[in-house]
Every structure is written in structure tokens, then in C-alpha cells.
Amino acid sequence: MILVAGSANLDFVVRAPHIPAPGETVLGRDFRTFPGGKGANQAVACARAGGAVTHLLLALGDDAFATPIETSLQAAGVQMHLVRVKEEVTGTAFICVSDDAENAITVAPGANFALHGVHLPPLDGFSHLLLQLEIPLLTVTAYAQAARAQGVRVVLNAAPAQTLPAQLLGLIDLLIVNEGELASVANHQGSMAECLAQIKVPCVVVTLGSRGCWARVGNSLIHQRAFQVIPIDSTGAGDTFCGVLVAALSQAQQRHQALQQSMPTALRLASAAAALACTRLGAQSSIPTQAEVTEFLATQTDSTDDPSHGPNPHA
């Protein structure tokens, strides 16, 4: 059983030929709203694509923006621990998606910043606590401290990118970052290997988009190649990866598998789910089912690699 604690937003999405440069106005096309927010996205991915029993601690305003978010979470089977904040609006994100499936996102946190340490529910029965950085950093640290004290594994997706205090890093069992976030957390602009050496966390997963992902488990490196798809919208793909990865690791822990043994399979499942998410519009709306992930993988030959046969992790 997994507890996700984090943000929930209503995404306002415009498709356009390209993402505007500073000072540029671009004539867009389609406009739609989608349930989003890193915490909510990752919870839906844990439950829908990962097949795990999933709870979500979230804060929403008392407004119309909250309704589609709650509906989406309920449909995915996520059990909500909801903090209703009447004096704040529900969090929102404004997203431009380009024709090459890239995106630019601006988030207005709203009610998300009303989550505090006192809101954390009892942690009995949870194997993992999954956190992100769209809620206050002090709150993230308080949740991590509580989980560590109760023997719950702490997973942090360090997004949006920022430098993290040593106190928080010392509480993390698994850190998930992309290249930019890795450099921010390491406070170093060198190679991936140099950045990883700066981070004193037992396990770090680095996502590299079309170049796949790497996991450092202790002193060992594991590489997973990316699955080839025709992307439409990459929004939510990283969150899908995080949710499915943690779901797979939680299920492996229940089978008493060691992390180094379970990580290759978890990376493959997470990468497949993220690839499928790129072929659909929206964040939560793009997350595949567990059956779709299984069916997709049955058609693939990609597998995890020994580091000596994959891309150079020092590059």
C-alpha cells in the first residue's frame, strides 16, 4: 500500500505549433482542461497503471476546479485524504503543448501550499511514501521524517528542480530526478556520474527522456532503454514513470525481493507506462491501465542493460 502526498491541480492546456519564446505571442489551437498536479498524477499512475492500493493526501479549494480532480481520482480507485481549504483556490497549471510534444508549464499552487505536517494520516500499513516538491519544502521534510521514524520507505521526485537541504536528503531512500533536477540537487554542473557522486542517497533514478533512464542502487548502475512511440503530449509522462516505479517496488517488497533484484523490472514497467502516456493528451487522462502496459510490453524486446553496453553514464 502506497501513500502519495502532494499537489493536485486543474491543468489548462493549449496546443500550439511551438512554445512561445519570451515576448512572443503564438496563435494556439485546441484548448482543454485536465486533472493534473504531480501528486495526483503519480497517485493515479500507482493505482491505474501500477495496480497498487494507493492513498493520496491532497489539498483542494472549495471551488469548481476541485470537482474534476476528485472525479478523476475516484475513477482511478485512489483513496483520498482531502484537506479542504476554503480560503484558497484549487491549484492550477497553465500548459502549452507544442506539435513536437514538448511542453512549458506554469503552476499556481493555490491550496496545495496549505498542506502542513499535521495533515499526514497514520502510516500504518504503508510500504512507501511518495513525495514531490509542489507543496512546501518544510511539509515535505516533516512527512519524510515521520515516515522514516515508522519504517516507511521515502521516495522523493525532486520536481520542480531546486537545491535540497542535507536534512531532507538524509531521509530519502529513493530519489527520482531528470537531468536538470539531478544537477540542482547535486548543486553541480558536471557529468551524470559526478552529480550522482555528490548525492548521498542509497538509490537514485535519473530519467533521460528518449535516452531511457539509469538507476544507481548502492554502487551498481542499471540502464533501461526508452521504448519507441510516436509522442503527442509528454505532459504527465514523468509522473506516470514515478507512480509505476514505486508501485512495482512496493509489490516486489511484499514478495521480499531485494531492491537491486526488483529494480530492472520496475524500470521496464515504469518506462513502458511513461511511453504510452506520451501517446495521449493530458496528464491523468493519458495514464494507461495495467493491462495496457502488459499488452504493450508483450510486443517489445527492449530490456535493461548492463552499464558497459549502454550509454556512457559519465557523459
Hey, which residues are catalytic here? 239
**At a CB cut-off of 8 Å and minimum separation 6, what does 301 contact?**
none
- Using CA of residue 297, residue 36, residue 170, residue 181, what is the dihedral sign? positive
Backbone angles phi, psi at 289, to 5 degrees: -85, 165
Distance CA 129, CA 4 (A): 6
Buried b (16+ CB within 10 A) or exposed e, 184-207: bbbeeeeebeebbeebebebbbbb
User: Cell triple for residue 312?
Assistant: 556512457
Among 201, 217, 222, which residue's Cα sits nearest to residue 154?
Answer: 201
User: Contact at 8 Å (CB) between 242 and 202?
Assistant: no
Cell of 24: 512572443
Distance CA 239, CA 245 (A): 10
Contact yes or no for 7/134 (Cβ under 8 A): yes
The partner residues of 129 in beta bridges, in order of sequence, read 3, 154
